[in-house]
Amino acid sequence: MKGRKDAPSDWGCLVGICFFILGLGTLLPWNFFMTASLYFQDRLNANVTNGSDVSSNSKYFNSCMTLLSQLPLLLFTLLNSILYQRVSEVARIAGSLVFILLLFVFTAVLVKVPMEDLDLFFSITMATIWFINSFGAVVQGSLFGLVGMLPQKYSAIFMSGQGLAGTFAAMAMLLANASDAGRESAALGYFITPCVGTLVTLFCYFLLHRLEFARYYLQQSAKYEAGTTDELLTAESTAADDGKLNGHANGSVAGGPKKNGVSEEGEQPPDRSQEAFLSLEQVEKKQAKASIFEVFKKIWVMAFCVTFVFTVTLSVFPAITVDVKTSSPDFETVLPGNWNRYFINVCCFLTFNINDFIGRTVTTFVRWPRKESHLFPLLVVSRVIFIPLLMLCNVQERAYLPVYFPSDAGFTVIMSLFSISSGYFVCLSMSYAPQLVEPKDAETAGSLMTFFLALGLSIGAALSFLLRKLV
């Protein structure tokens, strides 16, 4: 959607800032739990003696977390499409954000609660992850629909905010680890941060509806159905009026005496009734939205691409990458403490999220290959090479595969290419899909792409269990 000429200006880019923060807020839950994997593993291994293997809960924590994060995303994305017309926007977005806030507060409080039963702690954590990502899915799906009512650049701003959420979480964990506070206090401060972030997100949502620029586009979209009805009624009225005119032309009420429908001047009055009814048919055809299947036939290549990208990404990140160990534990760093403690935060999470953000941002300036090119899906499929490359890094514990890339630098380079290609191809797929359909079907295309995005995340999360066992 291009900006309308009569639209008010986005003063101070406040609407853009709001959507950037809203995008960041949608992925805060997933990223804050994912980045805190070391904290959860420490607690789950609290009773494990030196020399013993890690607990089974700790060993499969990342795969379970990934799966229980992405399954509700898939299920509640579908549910949100049903709730969309039955539950108000405020209830879906603001209500879900309030529940997310309460769950983050609960997680922060749990940091200070000693729990001897580690199975219970594992179960509570997994339940929290399930519910917090369920509400997050409703927020994300609703906000994708909201931002779709504005000009296209705001969708890019929204997705850029999503791309920065992971970097925000990684930086928060890095600062928590670098602080002089104990591990418990650092974890408490870490989980308080998304509480503040969720409050700011909630404030931006309410502020959005007070901004004239946003209200203009949201009200225009709300009037769409009314406008469609008015246009149809106008066409029907035209048809009726033309019918009356033809009736008058063939009688003696107006235009003087007639003979066989021809005026005294010898002119045949034009029969415009068929034009009017043809116009009515054209209006109905123009306004009618295509079916989901018809839209899918046009965007199936992009749907496949976004599914495949996230399947590859989630199959190894973070379930496998988080278990990579540094080959230089005594590496000198400007950060206080042991490099081993910072390695995963810096070389895994921070590297992934910064490069993912760069990949998404690059699409603002470079869009290659084009959406019609057969090279695009081929490049997407070629990302499968990153699965064996990351599995052959220094992942510990391992049982079957050798280590071919033991160095920290090698792992970081692979992660950089892996993440920048993920962000780039995801953003291209999501932006290309609405361009392949008529403007009236763009919202349907966006909803379908959101579903396939969630499908890719869920498939990747399920596949991570198998791949982790093969290492």
The distance of Cα 100 from the centroid of its chain, to the nearest Å, equals 17
Same-domain status, 63 and 199: yes
**Rounded-to-integer distance, Cα 420 and Cα 414, Å:** 10
Higher pLDDT, 54 or 371: 371
Q: Is residue 266 part of a domain?
A: no
Same-domain status, 65 and 158: yes
Instruction: Look at residue 224 and tell me whether its pLDDT is greater than 80.
Output: no
Contacts of 285 (CB under 8 A, 6+ apart): none
Q: Is residue 256 part of a domain?
A: no
| Assigned token pair, 375 | 């090279």
Tell me the per-residue pLDDT of 276-322, one tens digit each, with 9 for 90 and over: 444 555 545 555 677 888 888 999 999 999 999 999 999 999 889 98
Query: What pTM, to 2 d.p., does this model score?
Result: 0.72
Same-domain status, 115 and 200: yes
Smallest CA-to-CA distance from 34 within 154, 143, 172 is with 172
Classify 422 as helix, strand or coil.
Answer: helix
Tell me the per-residue pLDDT of 75-97, one tens digit each, with 9 for 90 and over: 887 777 666 667 788 888 899 99
Q: In this structure, what CATH number is given to the domain that contains residue 169?
A: 1.20.1250.20
Domain range for 403: 291-471
Asked if 61 contacts 44 with a C-beta cutoff of 8 angstroms, the reply is: yes
Same-domain status, 15 and 99: yes
pLDDT at 328: 77
Q: Which uninterrupted H or E stretch holds 217? A: helix 212-222
CA angle, corner 64, sides to 39 and 390, nearest 5?
80
pLDDT at 225: 45
| Assigned token pair, 467 | 């791949």
Query: Domain boundary at 188, 204, 222, which?
Result: 222
